[in-house]
Amino acid sequence: MYFLQKEYQILIDQKIGVFWNVLKTCLKVKKQEKILIITDYGFTNHNMSYLLAKGYQKALEKKGYAVEFLIQDIKKGFMHVDSHIRNALDTLPENNVIIVSVSNKLGRFGERKSFRQFTREKGHRFMSASGLQDARNSQFNLFMEAMGVNYARMQKRGKGIKKLWDKGKTLRITTESGTDLKVDIDEMEAISNTGEYYLVGKGGNLPAGEVYIAPRGMKGVNGKVILDGSIRHEAGSKLLSSPLIMYIESGSVVRMEGEDAKLMEETFKVFEARAKYPERVRLVGEIGIGINPGAVLIGLALMDEKVEGTAHIGIGSNAWFGGAIKTIFHGDQTFKNPTFYVDGKKMEL
């Protein structure tokens, strides 16, 4: 049993307004709905999953909402959700609300393909935060800053970028440090993830604040990316102290240079060894841009990919947002100060 330290009880109480604004704005919760919160206790000094879950619970209960608050063991790799979680999800009536805040993963559903598919089929709205194991308790206020933004303003910006990308045929991303990547996006549809999770069957993660797109095919993804923000690896995420260079040919990472090249190579090999189709693990599945003005780089993919003034390249699976890559790995790798060109024309950020 994890006992919430008094200092964090005070911090949560101070931020109840932020939690409630997220629930009201992003989910548009209703009194008659059933609300399920799923979390875990985290690790010593890394209890962010539990802190965020308690914040949502306290904000809802303060407004008189009924909440079912469930805790399970921390899940890694191919572990399944705990039986009581599975039962709660199975018995939750259609068209309700699920909030997930977990240190690593929610866990597998057995015969179900994914949590997202489950929520779509049942008409549930959801918010999620996963991969929180590297977040320190001392970063709680940073999460509140990233979640306490002006959503209307961020959503307007996201829609503008999405409109440009949806019409575009090619993206080119450059940086002064040497990034130069060309991506074929012809006929692909961008996703604006800005916290609009209030429609039936919809959901996404928080902090929100990114626009992303799957490449049309692998032949049209070529160049190099100088990563100088953070990387997602097999054991978690980390801030980069020196650049990591990824060379990409026909949509695949063919070579890497830098202090953390060995770490990423080991990550790819771990997932290739587990994958049914190992050749898919190193494929570029996503190009994204961060647009959250309250987010900062902290060495956590969930937050870092949303930071305004950054871009990210997702390696691995993209089938859940319109791509053709199905594999067991998806890792977002972040870099700073990108310049985007859509069909050769510079995109004003």
pLDDT band at 112 (very low <50, low <70, confident <90, very high): low
In the prediction, which pLDDT does 113 show?
Answer: 65
In this predicted model, what pLDDT tens digit does every residue of 121-143 receive, in sequence order?
999 999 999 999 999 999 999 99
State mean pLDDT over 235-248.
Answer: 95
Backbone Cα Rg of the chain: 20
In the prediction, which pLDDT does 5 show?
Answer: 75
- 48-57, 102-111, 160-169, 208-217: lowest mean pLDDT where? 102-111
Average pLDDT, whole number, for the chain? 94
State mean pLDDT over 250-273.
Answer: 97
In this predicted model, what pLDDT tens digit does every residue of 167-186 receive, in sequence order?
999 999 999 999 999 999 99
In the prediction, which pLDDT does 37 show?
Answer: 98
- 80-84, 157-161, 251-255, 292-296: lowest mean pLDDT where? 80-84
HEC string of the chain equals CCCCCHHHHHHHHHCHHHHHHHHHHHHCCCCCCCEEEEECCCECCECHHHHHHHHHHHHHHHCCCCEEEEECCCECCCCECCHHHHHHHHHCCCCCEEEEECCCECCECCCCCCHHHHHHHHCCEEEEECCHHHCCHHHHHHHHHHHCCCHHHHHHHHHHHHHHHHHCCEEEEECCCCCEEEEECCCCCCEEECCCCCCCCCEEECCCCEEEECCCCCCCEEEEEEECCEEEECCEEEECCCCEEEEEECCEEEEEECCCHHHHHHHHHHHHHHCCCHHHCCEEEEEEEECECCCCCCCCHHHHCCECCEEEEEEECCHHHCCCCCCCCEEEEEEECCEEEECCEECCC
pLDDT band at 111 (very low <50, low <70, confident <90, very high): low
In the prediction, which pLDDT does 6 show?
Answer: 81
Give me the domains of the chain, ranges plus CATH numbers: 6-147 (3.40.50), 151-346 (no CATH)
What residue type is 111 in one-letter code? E
